[in-house]
């Protein structure tokens, strides 16, 4: 979709690994020429494990890169570091000099653009922890011009996640384009504009034309790029994998407490934390429908927290203990954010390709869980 929408524009789609870091998914994307947006050394190790040849298509984002992570990325010869502070740029220069490896970098600028999304996943305002004030960027680029170990390769922006309108992206890229033009007048020629990710999906089960959304997004960005001749990087994550995944849970009990009916499943907030963390909506459907009227229920898990829920006051088809239900659109930030809270074992992952299903992550065992501990 992105390739078609961007036409002849030189671009690279860098999948945001944090959305779903399953090795099998990374391998599939690498085989199709995708790049990768990482936010930790561990995510880089995952990419290198399945596609070492893709190292040159990796961009390293994140506000707290350690010296060891930077060294790993320099040795792997990644495409670009998205630098989020002056202190980080100093550290990058020091590590590059130590290893005698030139580091290509882009400043992640904060364009002070409001994105209408959950406050936990909005990242483009001046008061957020992410990025560098765009008004300071020119001075920083000038300060490292001619550096032996740093190459000003691009500029990066990311204003948040689950954004459904193209307008905020256009506003942000317009401000970035002005910075690029100003740098060009100063003799600093950037090769890349990294537009970040954040394109949202529909979690409510309505009709959703993904291709139309990509076309709208691409058109909005293209309109404000002006005469920029370099490469455009995009970092979609959720948009690529969320709707491809579901969490399948078994109903343990259907319980009545006062006026409330609770459907208790064997899955919990440790398996899919988005509803508890963001009050996020996921459609929930029985795998096999039973006859009868729908009823209003809370769908919850067995974890010892009142916040362990998947839905409040949700209309649901009839279910009984032993039935399977599917929580849809769980392909992003499902397994990637899972935990072992309450000493619960994480589930298996199954990849369905056409009519074939294969296991890509086995179910955890208690031995797996206890292995790192010492008494």
Give mean pLDDT, residues 59-72. Answer: 97
Q: How far apart are CA 330 and CA 308, in angstroms?
A: 16
pLDDT at 213: 87
Burial class (CB in 10 A: 0-12, 13-18, 19+), 21: buried
Residue 248 vs residues 193, 209, 245, 269, 284: alpha-carbon distances, Å: 39, 25, 10, 13, 10
Residue 339 pLDDT greater than 60, yes or no: yes
Q: How far apart are CA 110 and CA 126, in angstroms?
A: 6
E strands of the chain, at which residues?
Answer: 11-16, 35-38, 58-60, 80-83, 103-110, 132-133, 150-156, 192-194, 231-234, 247-257, 260-265, 284-286, 295-300, 309-316, 324-327, 349-353, 356-361
- Which of 139, 292, 293, 304 is flagged as catalytic? 304
CB 79: neighbour CB atoms within 10 A? 24
Residue 117 pLDDT greater than 70, yes or no: no
3-state secondary structure of 118: coil
Is residue 304 flagged as an active site residue?
Answer: yes
The β-bridge partners of 156 are 108, 194
pLDDT at 8: 83
Q: How far apart are CA 269 and CA 302, in angstroms?
A: 9
- Write the DSSP symbol of residue 239: H
Residue 124 pLDDT greater than 70, yes or no: no
Residue 206 pLDDT greater than 80, yes or no: no
Task: State what percent of residues in the chain have pLDDT above 70.
Answer: 96
Q: How far apart are CA 65 and CA 39, in angstroms?
A: 8
3-state secondary structure of 52: helix
Mode of pairing for the β-strands spanning 58-60 and 35-38: parallel
Q: How far apart are CA 234 and CA 193, in angstroms?
A: 9
pTM of the model: 0.93
Q: How far apart are CA 234 and CA 301, in angstroms?
A: 36
pLDDT at 227: 85
Q: How far apart are CA 211 and CA 209, in angstroms?
A: 6
Assess contact for 183 and 190: CB atoms under 8 A.
Answer: yes
Q: How far apart are CA 365 and CA 374, in angstroms?
A: 17
Confidence class for position 5, pLDDT limits 50, 70, 90: confident
pLDDT tens digits for range 236-262: 999 999 999 999 999 999 999 999 999
pLDDT tens digits for range 309-318: 999 999 999 9
| Better-scored residue on pLDDT, 131 or 148 | 148
Q: How far apart are CA 294 and CA 349, in angstroms?
A: 30
Q: How far apart are CA 155 and CA 188, in angstroms?
A: 12
Residue 123 pLDDT greater than 50, yes or no: no
Q: How far apart are CA 112 and CA 141, in angstroms?
A: 19
Least confident interval from 58-67, 138-147, 221-230: 221-230
Confidence class for position 120, pLDDT limits 50, 70, 90: very low
pLDDT tens digits for range 36-59: 999 999 999 999 999 999 999 999
Query: Could you give all domains of the chain from N- to C-terminal order, each with its CATH number?
Result: 2-242 (3.20.20.10), 245-362 (2.40.37.10)
Among left, alpha and beta (phi > 0; psi -120 to 50; other), residue 62 is left
Least confident interval from 1-10, 52-61, 84-93, 143-152: 1-10
Looking at every residue in the chain, the average pLDDT score rounds to 93
pLDDT at 332: 97
Confidence class for position 125, pLDDT limits 50, 70, 90: very low
Confidence class for position 203, pLDDT limits 50, 70, 90: very high
């Amino acid at each position: 979709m992105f390739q078609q929408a961007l036409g002849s524009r030189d671009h690279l789609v860098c999948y945001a690994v944090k959305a779903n870091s399953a090795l099998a998914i990374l391998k599939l994307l690498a085989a199709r020429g995708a790049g990768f947006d990482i936010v930790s050394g561990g995510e880089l190790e995952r990419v290198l494990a399945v596609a070492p040849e893709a190292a040159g298509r990796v961009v390293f984002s994140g506000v707290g890169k350690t010296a060891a992570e930077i060294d790993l990325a320099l040795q792997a010869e990644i495409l670009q570091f998205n630098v989020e502070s002056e202190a980080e740029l100093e550290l990058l220069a020091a590590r590059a000099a130590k290893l005698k490896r030139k580091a290509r970098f882009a400043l992640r600028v904060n364009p002070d653009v409001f994105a209408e999304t959950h406050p936990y996943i909005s990242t483009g305002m001046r008061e957020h922890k992410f990025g560098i004030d765009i008004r300071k960027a020119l001075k920083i680029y000038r300060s490292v011009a001619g550096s032996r170990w740093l190459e000003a390769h691009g500029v990066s922006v990311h204003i948040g996640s689950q954004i459904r309108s193209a307008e905020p992206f256009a506003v942000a890229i317009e401000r970035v384009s002005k910075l690029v033009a100003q740098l060009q007048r100063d003799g600093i020629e950037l090769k890349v504009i990294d537009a970040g990710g954040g394109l949202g999906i529909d979690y409510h089960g309505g009709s959703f034309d993904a291709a139309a959304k990509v076309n709208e997004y691409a058109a909005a960005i293209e309109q404000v790029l002006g005469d920029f001749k370099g490469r455009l990087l995009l970092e979609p994550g959720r948009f690529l994998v969320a709707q491809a995944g579901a969490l399948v849970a078994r109903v343990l009990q259907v319980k009545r407490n006062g006026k409330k009916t609770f459907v208790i499943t064997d899955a919990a907030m440790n398996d899919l934390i988005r509803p508890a963390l963001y009050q996020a909506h996921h459609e929930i459907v029985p795998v096999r429908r039973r006859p009868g009227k729908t009823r209003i229920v809370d769908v919850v898990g067995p974890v010892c927290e009142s916040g362990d829920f998947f839905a409040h006051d949700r209309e649901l088809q009839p279910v009984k203990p032993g039935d399977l239900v599917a929580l849809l659109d769980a392909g992003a930030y499902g397994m990637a954010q899972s935990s072992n809270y309450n000493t619960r074992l994480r589930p298996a992952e199954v990849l369905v390709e056409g009519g074939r299903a294969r296991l890509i992550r086995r179910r955890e065992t208690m031995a797996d869980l206890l292995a790192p501990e010492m008494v």
